[in-house]
Amino acid sequence: MSVDSTTDVQIETTAPDGVKLTDGAAAKVKSLLEQEGRDDLALRIAVQPGGCSGLRYQLFFDERSLDGDQVFEFGGVNVVVDRMSLPYLGGASIDFVDTIEKQGFTIDNPMATGSCACGDSFH
């Protein structure tokens, strides 16, 4: 763990109780950031109320640094989780799949006790 003195944000390089970005997902995020021509963005993962099971995931690029953010670094990619979402994401693994059936980011979350058929919502 290191502390970025410009923002006083802790940066984790291992995430036993936090989120994990697989190598494939980190490569995809890095590729998307290169396409955007931005190196100041991080992948923010948030849990918001909504969906048919009560909670839903949000993944988006963000340049903000919010009070209480936890930052994880994987292969040169920063993943940011706000303090309210972190308890819902303990041990979650984010991957990127690219198959004939499906393309996109997937979240394997051991904290989720159930999900809906669409896969976008959990409880």
For the CA atoms of 26, 27, 33, 35, the dihedral, rounded to the nearest 10 degrees, stands at -160
pLDDT at 108: 85
Per-residue pLDDT in tens (0 to 9) along the chain, 123 residues? 444 544 454 444 444 567 899 999 999 999 999 998 988 899 999 988 776 657 888 899 999 989 999 999 998 899 999 999 898 888 889 899 988 888 888 888 777 765 554 555 443
Rounded to a whole number, what is the largest CA-CA distance in the chain? 44
pLDDT at 106: 85
pLDDT at 102: 83
pLDDT at 109: 79
pLDDT at 28: 93
With CA atoms as reference, report the closest residue to 1 among 9, 95, 100.
9
DSSP letter (8 states) at residue 79: E
Distance of CA 80 to the CA centre of its chain: 6
pLDDT at 54: 72
pLDDT at 6: 45
Which two structure tokens, joined as six digits, stand for 69? 């953010």
pLDDT at 44: 94
